[in-house]
Amino acid sequence: MSFDPRLTPARPDIAAAHLQGQVEAAKFVTGQDRMVATSTAPMTAQADPEAGLTSQLLSGEIFTVYDVDDDTGLAWGQAQQDGYVGWVPNFMLEPVQAPTHHVTALMTHCYPEPDLKTRPFDMLPMLAAVTVVGQEGKWLELSTGGWVPGRHLSEALPGGDWVAIAELFINTPYLWGGRTPSGIDCSGLIQIALQAIGQECLRDSDMQQGALGQQIDPTAGLQRGDLAFWKGHVGVLVDDKTLLHANAFAMATVLEPFDLACDRIKAQGDGALTSMRRIAL
């Protein structure tokens, strides 16, 4: 039986217990849920701390651990948020606690005291989940230590216009595997913006093409929020003529005339559009 290793916690030597009878593995184990305790945690496809990013987990995200490599200190498992499978540093994980708030600002600083003149020691990206344990004026204290401005947190997700949320990332540096304002890739941009309004979204562009919305005819009229897919790439239209996408050509998240983007992507050898899709929200 074939399966997508990006979404299936199975290797020849070990697999998740719930997959027994569906995949072949030397042993099957029950995973242990852990929570990301740092602002972000890098995910790789190999048990190699120097391997390139495949994704990032955000603070408070739950990661089900099936194996730990003592030599590298990496834990292998599956992210509950989007089902992505990979390796993350084990020291960045801790026992699960229920979050109370999400970061709704693009990014927020974490301070040692409820004082904006103190030196921040960390930054938390949009959608990081945190547990608030105290308050002093306009500042909220986190269970992991430190204080953040209360106006940057909410008990609810940001909500609203998901394309407007994606537009907040304009000029963000391009980062393969990135999901934050410090660096983001094409599918990460779409995923974070949709997750911000409570819409489930898989990690990679081919997965998104297969799961999001309905196929539309691009000659029948395009509109804000339509998704444009190429092989290995995705962007969103902010209007019928303008594409917003994180891309390696600009090495940033940029606005680009849609027709120009189509011509440029085809000219550089990455082919024509593979799909246009519209999400009913």
CATH 3.90.1720.10 fits 162-278, yes or no: yes
**Ranges of each domain in the chain:** 15-94, 101-154, 162-278
Position 1 scores a pLDDT of 60
pLDDT tens per residue, range 134-163: 999 999 999 989 999 999 999 999 999 999
The answer to whether 101-154 and 162-278 have equal CATH topology is no
Residues in the chain predicted with pLDDT less than 70, given as ranges, are 1
Residue closest to 118 by CA, chosen among 140, 138, 142, 148: 148
Is-above-0.85 flag for pTM?
Answer: yes
Position 246 scores a pLDDT of 99
Residue 199 CA to residue 188 CA, distance in Å, equals: 14
Residue 188 CA to residue 202 CA, distance in Å, equals: 9
- 101-154: CATH topology is SH3 type barrels. (2.30.30)
| Degrees, nearest 5: CA angle 139-93-252 | 70
Superfamily of domain 15-94: SH3 Domains (2.30.30.40)
Position 83 scores a pLDDT of 98
Spatial neighbors of 210 by CB under 8 A, at least 6 apart, are none
Residue 18 CA to residue 252 CA, distance in Å, equals: 40
